Structure 1
Amino acid sequence: MAFIGFTGKQDQLLDDKNRMAIPAKWREHFDAPAYLTSGDEPCIAVYTKAAFEAAAAEVLSLPASTKEGRDGRRKFFGDAHDVGKDSSGRLLIPQALIKHAGLQKDLVVVGAGEWFEIWDKAAWLAYAGGGAGE
């Protein structure tokens, strides 16, 4: 069956080395590096290589001659990190993105179609009204 996108929510943990396990049902989609960037809300957006390339094409379609185009490029590419998964299927999350999302130990990952998001659990519960986790 073709991949239709990341779906569902799951609780996760951030370990003391700033690593988080990719949920097992999503791991197979990350043979190449994952691309992490700041989300519009206080979260981290995680893309496969193909999804990142598609999103990058959208950002690059904005004219660089406009403030909107330049700002979009700076935010999307300036905050982006390519991160490989380790042998246990964990991502090492860069400190700048941890700070952006306000991540503590307890996390929630949320499927968002072409990408998934990493949220601090308390922030997700406040944002979503308490409906996180499976």
Structure 2
Amino acid sequence: MARRFRGESHHKVDAKGRVSIPALFRRVLEARDPDWTDGLRPQLVIVYGDHRRKYLECYSMEEIEAVDDKISTMPRGSQERRLLERLFQTQSYPTEVDNDGRLVLPQKLREKIGLEGEALFLGAGETFQIWKPETFESEELAKTEAWLDDQPDDFDPLTLLDQAEGG
């Protein structure tokens, strides 16, 4: 069964950058880390990206390997490959879940997204995101609500799946 990251939750961030990962997210990381066995710490990669990205995107080992595999099929030296290498391989941070189910977010990553006392975890299917709650509410949530407000009253979001490839 392919597990996905689902749901949202708020977690405190301490002065050292430690933050608990939602338990269900930890189970997905374990299931999608080919080297994980009971007693080991699941690995993940946090992609922080360029200056426009206002959140941290966390990839299971299976998912980041799939991204890396796609990048490696691109022509060497191409501008597109170099760009993707920078965004997903250079501007990323490999880490692991500690024995207490927490991540330790380095100062650089916390400063990049303005993360202080609380983090918002959002499941995004194949990845999960860590946001400063106020940034998410003022930007992303506001965009979603505005878009939905522009739809007819009887709009069913599931109709968007009909537009998906193979839908």
Instruction: Tell me if both proteins adopt one fold, taking TM over 0.5 as the criterion.
Output: yes
User: Percent same amino acid among aligned pairs?
Assistant: 26
Which of 51, 64, 70 does residue 52 from structure 1 map onto?
64
How many residue pairs end up in the alignment?
A: 130
Correspondence 1:51-130 to 2 at 5 A: 51-127=63-139, 128-129=141-142
Cα RMSD (Å):
2.0
Name the CA shift for 1:4/1:79 in 2 (closer, same or farther; >3 Å). same
Identify the range of structure 1 (118-127 vs 96-105) with the bigger mean alpha-carbon deviation.
96-105
**2: CA distance, partners of 1:69 / 1:120:** 30
Alpha-carbon distance in 2 for matches of 1:3, 1:86:
24
> In 2 relative to 1, CA 130–18 (structure 1 residues): closer, same or farther, beyond 3 Å?
farther
Output the amino acid matched with 2:77.
Answer: S
The alpha carbon displacement at 1:52 in A equals 1.2
Higher mean C-alpha deviation, range 26-35 or range 49-58 = 26-35
Larger RCO: Structure 1 or Structure 2 (Cα < 8 Å, ≥ 6 residues apart)?
1
Could you list the structure 1 runs, at least 4 aligned residues long, displaced by more than 3 angstroms after superposition: none
Partner of 2:29, secondary structure, is coil
Return 77-86 or 32-41, whichever deviates more: 32-41
Deviations 1:28-87 (A, max 9, x none): 233431211115631111111111111222233332322221121012111222211111
**Residue in structure 2 matched with residue 5 of structure 1 by the alignment:** 4
Larger radius of gyration: 2
Deviation at 1:10, TM superposition (A): 1.2
- Structure showing the higher helix proportion among its residues: 2
Instruction: Normalising by structure 1, report the TM-score.
Output: 0.85
Answer whether contact 2:121 2:128 (CA < 8 A) is retained: yes
* CA distance 1:50–1:106, shift in 2 (3 Å): same
Following the alignment from structure 1 to structure 2, what is the Cα–Cα distance between the partners of residues 61 and 120? 35
Q: Is the 8 A contact 1:48 1:115 kept in 2?
A: yes
Whole-Å Cα distance in 2 between the matches of residues 17 and 130 of structure 1?
A: 32
Query: What 5-or-longer segments of structure 1 have no aligned partner?
Result: none
1:26 equivalenced with 2:25 (yes/no): yes
Q: Distance in 2 between matches of 1:22 and 1:106?
A: 12
Report the Cα offset of residue 130 of structure 1: 9.2
Q: TM-score, normalised by structure 2?
A: 0.70
Q: Aligned partners of 2:17 and 2:80: how far apart in 1?
A: 33
